[in-house]
Amino acid sequence: MAIKFRSPAWEEEVERLDARSSARVQAERARREIEGGKAKLGWKRCEAQNDDGTELAGCSKLYVPLGAEGASAAPYGFVFRLAKSDDNTLVWNFIAFGERHPENPSTRSVYERAHKRLHRRYPDQSR
């Protein structure tokens, strides 16, 4: 199944970060590995509804760096949403990148960022 890193999602999620930051370097490396077709992808389904208020039905995630041993070795993540392309084939569209479980309470997790992209608000913001 195809994986698409479309604009403006990539720019808003990855290029917002300093070019030398660990997060951006890891994201760019993971993208190259995915697009090169050489990476073993450990897809994990996102919770449709999570205790933190995120709603990510139809989404899956990849831990970054790819192939890290154990979730604790992968501080970042990509979130993708399953969609139909123009030719009616299924594709994974990239929707978010960020820290999986940030220590700083003012930093939004990749799951909150994905929720905002899908629902136009963070889970803790009123409807």
Q: In Å, what is the CA distance from 32 to each residue of 17, 28, 39? A: 17, 6, 9
Of 40, 98, 46, the closest CA to residue 69 belongs to 40
How many structural domains are present in the chain?
1
Residue 83 lies in a domain: yes
- pLDDT exceeding 90 applies to what percent of the chain? 87
- Residue 69 has which token pair? 């041993």
Of 71, 74, 116, the closest CA to residue 96 belongs to 116
Residue 81 lies in a domain: yes
pLDDT at 86 (0 to 100): 87
> Structural domain of residue 78, as residue ranges?
2-119
Q: Residue 96: pLDDT above 90?
A: yes
Residue 125 lies in a domain: no
Q: Residue 127: pLDDT above 70?
A: no
Residue 127 lies in a domain: no
Residue 126 lies in a domain: no
Residue 124 lies in a domain: no
DSSP string, 54-114: -B-TTEEEEEESTT-SSGGG--EEEEEEEEE-TTS-EEEEEEEEEESS-SSTTSPPHHHHH
Q: Residue 70: pLDDT above 90?
A: no
- 98-117 pLDDT, tens digit per residue, is 999 999 999 999 999 999 99
pTM: 0.94
- pLDDT exceeding 70 applies to what percent of the chain? 99
Residue 17 lies in a domain: yes
- 38-57 pLDDT, tens digit per residue, is 888 999 999 999 999 999 99
Q: Residue 126: pLDDT above 80?
A: no
